[in-house]
Structure 1
């Protein structure tokens, strides 16, 4: 029996490793395709020459200053939002939890819109402040949702949490619409693109502003994977195993809010990534968070880079916001999950 269990565990581990490797290869393939996609086509050989420093000035400008930062940001944002959604699903034990649906993205977006209403977004200092402000807005929204959804004798009901998050998100979105009425046409155009999920932070300054947040928070969340496994059980079971439930839940919730807020600061109002990617990863590698979290990050990165490439390809020479492409994929999937949960 022990030998059979050991063989089964090795088989699952090998399958999970193969899935992670396959997703990594798909990301590399999409990275190469995305570098060659755009209004000005660059042949693969031209891309290679430009990376090696042998391209023309025009090719270096297109690839190194425009395309590569956006590709890197789409990968980072996809990974961050996916892991944030995976953590929320584990904390709430609710398959429909997502930073966009729960209103966390809206809280971050409100702070970003307030900021850009008064300050230019092309200055170096404001660029590095944006993730901090977005984290503050996301944290305030999360705290409000937590307070409204929590009941002393019943705890945190997953259904009540979802409904509260939807209501808070609707209120924040209404406030953002009111704020846009006082903006000048240029800033209004920016806000409209941001709300549609356009990856507006597409230069290396935004990459350097976002990367430290993910560099700290992603390893922290993966380090807490065992705690997430315990918290994914019932409250009584987790308490019986000796887990300090509220402290661990608040730390993981803070990490999830930090990931979502920092990503929203540079990507705009992109939803559904934190919902779809963890579900796909769970179907492929199972529920253990030690594997599920890295798989979710890779799935989110793959989803975002694919959606961003399609957004730049579908309507050339124009492009559509990446958030719309993700929504076209995510909305039907969300309805499917909702119908499945009801049944």
Structure 2
């Protein structure tokens, strides 16, 4: 039974974060290399803008804003799931190697397979999912002990090792590629929001529409998995089965996000921590908050990054790492 005061607090926080996201979107629509005055936003949205205003807003700004928002939400939810199933506050798709697995698969696909412009956008999440899934299975196998089960600390350490190894593999892959393809992979590694067109939204949105409700449905299972294994088994939870299902969910969310944003880490680390600090450990309460925080964090990072240095800007992945790196060290020392 969840206390009514906590439910009221959650609803209030949801309202606050939705408002902050809305304000950040408004600010982001006006800022950029080609500025768009704020008094022209509403007329342009209503179809009364000039050709330049329409192009800047509908072809450049809005697709990027929505992709960034959706990707941040997916990464935050993936991190919340991973932290729940491993009982490790340091678990996050970027840190434990899942993002690197997606990157290696995308790099191999982009460099060595024939690319069809019509299906390329929709193939990327699938390719990233396959790469992430293989990586996650290997990390899980190496972290699992028959006597004690999954070892959370070992999982993080092995994941970091896989992340470094796969990053090295990507460098080897691009060492013999032509300049154009190298530029694309380099931008991906930096976490540059490269998928900035409406079809990319269609590529990532179905994953979120299916997996967010599914994760909320599994929220109570996540609560039980966060306890010790004997307790979870004692109340009738098939621990390994639930872990595998939720791990696949986390992998799908992370791979769908990084396939259009590049290798962005730390969103899945910070957002769940902040949400748990605000509303407590119950996943029914903190997952919706974490999703909104993840979207807001990546949106703010990208808005600042693309306006700090003109015209290219600083990749969102680097902006997030500037905050997330010290936060990760703090958690590591704390734990």
TM-score greater than 0.5 by the shorter chain: yes
- 1:144 to 2:138 alignment: yes
Q: 1:3 aligns to what?
A: none
Q: 2:225 aligns to what?
A: 231
Alignment CA distance shift 1:338-1:121 (3 Å): farther
1:193-217 deviation line (CA, Å, top 9, x unaligned): 1100001000011111111111111
- 1:79 to 2:73 alignment: yes
Alignment CA distance shift 1:239-1:327 (3 Å): same
Q: How much does 1:320 deviate?
A: 1.1
Q: 2:22 aligns to what?
A: 28
Q: 1:309 aligns to what?
A: 303
Secondary structure in 2 matching 1:117: helix
- Aligned equivalents of 1:218 and 1:46: distance in 2? 35
Query: In the comparison of the two structures, how many residue pairs are matched?
Result: 335
Q: How much does 1:293 deviate?
A: 0.8
- Aligned equivalents of 1:118 and 1:32: distance in 2? 41
Q: How much does 1:45 deviate?
A: 2.1
- Aligned equivalents of 2:4 and 2:122: distance in 1? 44
Q: How much does 1:123 deviate?
A: 1.3
Q: How does 1:233-252 map to 2 (within 5 A)?
A: 233-252=227-246
Match of 1:98 among 77, 92, 98: 92
- 1:214 to 2:202 alignment: no
**Contact 2:7–2:285 (Cα < 8 Å) also in 1:** no
Structure 1 residue ranges without an equivalent (≥5): 1-5
**Contact 1:83–1:274 (Cα < 8 Å) also in 2:** yes
- 1:276 to 2:270 alignment: yes
Match of 1:162 among 156, 161, 167: 156
**Contact 1:120–1:126 (Cα < 8 Å) also in 2:** no
Structure 2 residue ranges without an equivalent (≥5): none
Q: How much does 1:240 deviate?
A: 0.3
Q: How much does 1:122 deviate?
A: 7.9
Match of 1:203 among 197, 209, 213: 197
Alignment CA distance shift 1:164-1:320 (3 Å): same
Secondary structure in 1 matching 2:3: helix
Report the RMSD for the aligned CA atoms in angstroms.
1.3
- Aligned equivalents of 2:35 and 2:271: distance in 1? 30
Structure 1-normalised TM-score?
0.95
Q: How much does 1:121 deviate?
A: 6.7
1:293-343 deviation line (CA, Å, top 9, x unaligned): 1111000000010001001111123311110000001001111111111xx
